[in-house]
Amino acid sequence: MINIALCGGYGKMGKAITELCENSDRFNISYIIETPEKCLLTDLGMGVRLVDVIDHEDIDIVVDFTSKKSCMEHLKLSVENKKPFLTGITGFSEEEMSEIKIFAAKGRVFYSPNFSLGIHILGKLLNTISDLAKDDYDIEILEMHHNQKVDAPSGTALKLRDILMKKNPGYSTIYGRKGTYEPRRRSEIAIHTLRGGDVVGDHKVIFAGNGERLELTHKAISRKTFASGVFKAVEFLIAQKENKLYGMEDLF
């Protein structure tokens, strides 16, 4: 049995993880780490602070789906107490990602903006397609999420952009086209963001050429898809010995 301290247990991802844990004989949630305010809005009981339980023996790993600020605090606590740490929080700046890598040199850390196998497969496809299409197609990325998502564009869209940029190092990124008054340049990748309703997560990469268009689309229907990926990553991270920053590339 793998015992989990779940930070953000009453959020959207936290609830999906909790539901999958309920009938599991492999995973157990030892503690739900939540803010008092959010606990008062639920009937799930009071959460606890990670700092008060991090040294307990019934925590094998810390899983965090809170906020950037809380995530960094929980990461520091976990590394200091030699607990593996996993998070899927998005919206980190380059400076914050650098800080995460510094912590990962001292402990086992797993980070991914998306825990879906389908998104990982999409990334693999982009590795191949972008190398073939870079001279003949314009590249656009479109992403849509629910109306409560706070960061834009999504971390997954930026990850897909990064994969494309590796094959096209001279390209630049633009976000929408408001205020521009010039033809599109081949050497740009545009990211467009939509927010509305309860959309779990849609991502589309468009390769637009003359007389044809290739579109690769991934649609997440349920957060249980992400939760299943989280559990695979948890088992993987527990088994690792080296202190470093792991990701979905390592898992698959």
Q: List active site positions.
A: 145, 149
Is the N-terminal amide bond of 153 cis, ω within 30° of 0?
Answer: yes
143, two tokens: 């992403």
Burial 117-152 (b: 16+ CB within 10 A, else e): eebbebbeebeebbeebbeebbbbbbbbbeeebeee
Cα 96–3–90 angle (5° rounding)?
25
Q: Tell me the residue type at 44.
A: L
Nearest-angstrom CA–CA distance, 140 and 127: 15
Q: Which residue has the tokens 């990748």?
A: 189
Task: With beta carbons less than 8 A apart as the criterion, state whether 89 and 74 touch.
Answer: no
